[in-house]
Amino acid sequence: MKRYLSGDLERVGQKVRQRLESSRLARGLLKVIGVLAVTMVLADGLLTPAQSVLGAVQGIEPLGITKLSFAFSPIVIIWLGFNAAFGIYNLTKYDAGVFQAFNPGLAFEFLIRNKTDGWRMLGGTLLAFTGVEALFADLGAFSRSAIQISWLCYTFPCLLLAYIGQAAYISVHPEAYSNPFFNAAPPGTIYPALVIAILAAIVAS
């Protein structure tokens, strides 16, 4: 949000700004309103999806978790396998130097070099948190050990390979950043990937 100079505002706006900035009560009230606004956004963005997933799980529990897992698990396993395979393909064909991203020293160097813009770019990492509420919802249906094993031994490695592979592809084709998954798909795999992506989206919903 751009902050205008007082001289650029109309006379009414100048008076309102002067009153707000000179009043301790007004400044405190604005801070409270800002905090409340942020908490409402967080509640809507984090708690609402979690409650939706919990409600869905509670609604399908009478059908039997075993039956649902037997039907949904192959789709998710294949989907993650596609991600891992695409990642390995792109790493071997394009730039394997993206592994340098795991070096924390380069991360600090990036922030120092780009300063404010570098910190703003970190906002993109917020996407890494999406879907976390589903893990908490799954705790009501699966054991902690089952979630830990499936995440550490299969899900996390597959996703890591997928994102690293996409980074390798984008390093050679920067224009592909808008849709990295399908743009980085190996030749001849677009339609199978599209079908399994739709099925995985249905399971995720």
Domain ranges (residues) in the chain: 7-63, 64-204
**Would you say residue 104 has pLDDT above 80?**
yes
Phi then psi dihedrals of residue 144, to 5 deg = -65, -40
Give the mean pLDDT of 130-134: 58
CA dist 47 and 40 (Å) reads: 10
State residue 203's pLDDT score: 72
Region of residue 144 (phi > 0: left; psi between -120 and 50: alpha; otherwise: beta)? alpha
Average of pLDDT values for 142-156? 81
Task: Please classify residue 185 by burial: count the beta carbons closer than 10 Å to its beta carbon, then call 0-12 exposed, 13-18 middle and 19+ buried.
Answer: buried
Query: Residue 1 above 70 pLDDT?
Result: no
Q: Residue 26 — very low, low, confident or very high, per pLDDT cuts 50/70/90?
A: confident
Alpha carbon distance, N-terminus to C-terminus of the chain: 34
pLDDT band at residue 175 using 50, 70 and 90 as cut-offs? confident
Residues 135 and 61 sit within 8 Å (Cβ to Cβ) = no
> For residue 83, with 0-12 CB atoms within 10 Å meaning exposed, 13-18 middle and 19 or more buried, which class applies?
buried
Those residues with Cβ within 8 angstroms of residue 81's Cβ, 6 or more apart along the chain or in another chain: 158
Give the pLDDT score at 136.
59
Which residue has better confidence, 116 or 5? 116
Q: How would you label 91-114 residue by residue, b for 16+ Cβ within 10 Å and e otherwise? A: beebeeebeeeeeeeeeeeeeeee
Give the pLDDT score at 55: 58
Q: What percent of the chain has pLDDT over 70?
A: 68
Report pLDDT for 13: 65
| Residue that wins the pLDDT comparison between 39 and 192 | 192
Tokens found for residue 85: 């395979």
pLDDT of residue 23: 80
Looking at every residue in the chain, the average pLDDT score rounds to: 76
